[in-house]
Structure 1
Amino acid sequence: MTEQQVVEQLSNYKRLVARKRVLETYSVGAGITISRLNQDDQLQELHHKLRGMPSHMYLSKREQKLESVAHSYLEHYPAGVKSQEKAIPSIGNDATDTKLLRELKQKIEKVVAARGYEIRDDIDAVLDRVAELQSLQEDIQKIDNIFEALENYKPEYAQLLRNHYLEQKSWSNVAFELNISKDVFYRRRKKAILEYEKLAN
């Protein structure tokens, strides 16, 4: 890591934290957030459970009828809830099938509506956000760990970098808070960045 990369990493810290908070509150529907998915791996756990169970164990009699009519009329199973809704025909071979198909389409429409807005067609969008959240958490944790290590033996360096880059305070404000001159501020900042660089590499 170069000096410029250190400055960029520290300068972006607040943006990383802000983006992380936004992702954590992103809803995937049914009251479940990205943060909850990431913490509990609920989606993966649910998929594993359902794959290993016959549908009659978790579907009601009515839902089993809907499943049966879907299998009868769907030639392929497109990825994405909205794509699946479009693939379901509106009219069946008889009145009973037509009624079931319409009910199935309505249920899918409710799932889409429950997400607040049509932000995704399939699970890929959610998985992308989970991956982004995990990456942000790793980046933020790495910066926090370096600061913790730096504070153990050079607390004045850690304080200067934290105030100047993480808190985005001007050199004059930081110099005033630390009771140092402008020249001392810039000399110490140079040394602090070099120490941070050593710990980061």
Structure 2
Amino acid sequence: MTRKRTKQTAIEQLSQYRQKQARLQVLSTYSVGAGITVSRLNEDDQLQELHAKLRGLPSYMYLNKHELKLEQAANAYMTRYPAGIKAQKRAVPVNVMDDEYHELLQELRDKIQKVIAARGYEVRDDIDAVLDRLAEFQDLQADIQRLDFILERLQEYKPYEATLLRWIYIDGLDQNDLVEKLDVSESTIRRRIKKAEREYALLAR
């Protein structure tokens, strides 16, 4: 990817900040049922914390003999281990030739389904729609956190440029607003914006 294209991509992502934030707010109020919203589901999700704790330990320290077999089956047939629970369930193969592994993988899918039920997802019939929105919510959170992180790093050594980008892409000020706010010419504003975008793109690439 050329430097020009890299910069364009970085700025396009930054320009989507407000849209992503608005969509995140909309998703946060999406009702799962029983008074539970998507944002509440995300806050209550303890699987990632558990995975982080267990990742550093050998599996024999926390799995029994049968659970080790489940792990072996998963390792043999699963090519990826996604974070979202819906994606986790879909990642478990349905049809395998080995009868023993077929039963073990079915059991693994059933266990994931029990987690879904325990979280109250089954209070709605459209479980896929709920999980789609939860996955989108988590992806948007990650995107916004990354954009914030880049701006924070830019703020550490180019505070003016970082502030200028926040005014434009987060606060929604246009060039006329900035001309009035900073009491400078339009050409000066355009030049400073280009400089700020170049600095941002260098970090974001």
Cα distance in 2 for partners of 1:171, 1:6 equals 20
State the TM-score, normalized to the length of structure 2: 0.57
Shift of 1:200: 0.7
- Any conservation in 2 of the 1:11–1:168 contact (CA below 8 Å)? no
2:12 to 8, 11, 21: 8
Task: Provide Cα deviations, 1:92-126, integer angstroms capped at 9, x if missing partner.
Answer: xxxxxxxxxxxxxxxxxxxxxxx7xxxx6432111
State the TM-score, normalized to the length of structure 1: 0.58
Task: Provide Cα deviations, 1:136-163, integer angstroms capped at 9, x if missing partner.
Answer: 0001001111111111111111121111
Q: Which residue is equivalent to 1:196?
A: 200
Shift of 1:42: 7.5
Task: Tell me the amino acid that sits aligned with residue 177 of structure 2.
Answer: N
- Any conservation in 2 of the 1:2–1:197 contact (CA below 8 Å)? yes
Shift of 1:3: 2.6
- CA RMSD after TM alignment: 2.4
Q: Which residue is equivalent to 1:131?
A: 135
Task: Tell me the amino acid that sits aligned with residue 128 of structure 1.
Answer: D
- Any conservation in 1 of the 2:7–2:202 contact (CA below 8 Å)? no
**SS of alignment partner, residue 141 of structure 2:** helix
Shift of 1:172: 1.9
Cα distance in 2 for partners of 1:166, 1:4 equals 17
Segments ≥4 residues shifted beyond 6 Å: none
Write out aligned runs for 1:1-201 (5 A): 2-41=6-45, 121-201=125-205
- Any conservation in 2 of the 1:14–1:166 contact (CA below 8 Å)? yes
Q: Which runs of 5+ in 2 are unaligned?
A: 48-122
Task: Tell me the amino acid that sits aligned with residue 18 of structure 2.
Answer: K
Cα distance in 1 for partners of 2:179, 2:163 equals 11
Task: Provide Cα deviations, 1:50-106, integer angstroms capped at 9, x if missing partner.
Answer: xxxxxxxxxxxxxxxxxxxxxxxxxxxxxxxxxxxxxxxxxxxxxxxxxxxxxxxxx
Cα distance in 1 for partners of 2:136, 2:36 equals 17
Q: Which runs of 5+ in 1 are unaligned?
A: 44-114
Cα distance in 1 for partners of 2:140, 2:183 equals 34
Bigger Rg, structure 1 or 2: 1
